[in-house]
Structure 1
């Protein structure tokens, strides 16, 4: 049975409406995709800004760490000078000694020595809150010292680690290595070694 003209027109109207609805949905989909793309671009921009802020914060924290390290060294110096002079009889005391030799470099927070009967040299490492690796760093510093300062090779070489805060376990391990320990007490650094402690000479 053939369709009447009215039925044909009805089918055409429905087809047109369906096409219009499809077009509308495609336009809506396109609009949403554009909105999604815009949001992704905004998210990317914010992530780049966050990365920039994190890099800037990292620089500031690094600078703060360096400043705090310098502050700790400055805080320790007067106390360590007194200890080195009065308790160990040192005649020459120099803060922040840096020396380069054969393309390598060594940096010492405080270096003290005497050419008198005591004939000794002390290497002081200053830390705010030393960690486990502080022991290995101190050992390496003392082991490398003779190659950078051969003029002191005939002296007894001792190490001192001065810390604002030092875990007891780490203190015990440093003492076992024969390294002097100095801790802050009532705003000044004082030696913190047991009675009868015998320091190790690293030369």
Structure 2
């Protein structure tokens, strides 16, 4: 699988969108009505997702308290919501067959969802997501049913792609990641450490 996108947790979505636009990025909300996320797309490679909410708070607390694999998987969401704003997680992306192989590799132990989102261009995007029960692990997604990335696009600040994503993982998680992604973008680091996104113009996001 390939590095699909990186989660940037935002305490206030509108404020985060304004901030990234001031940094020279073109940002679009995930949906026209009551959006919970916004996207910084690139023509090639991974993109950034500014995310301000996962599940409604009461449902999230209930789900994360369940002593099941899916309950443990949702604990990553509570850690995002309780933590500071910033980079939080990596998603690996692939085709349907690759996705099914990953789910099988993890023994289907985790949370599987199949959302549909209508974006601000009216495109209905179908996809599947798998969150492993270990919240330290990256999560996995199929490709969108339609590719929402712009063609031959350069952001106002000059960035055209994410060149490198550095993600710290424990020794056990690094072993479980073996062979899952070799796209040359994702660089697994030894934990502890900070996640970093490095753009093709040399600028960084930490």
Both proteins in one fold, TM over 0.5: no
- Decide which structure has greater helix share: 1
Structure whose alpha-carbon radius of gyration is higher:
1
Higher RCO (CA < 8 A, seq sep 6+) = 2
Sort the TM-score into its range (normalised by shorter chain).
under 0.3
TM norm structure 2:
0.27
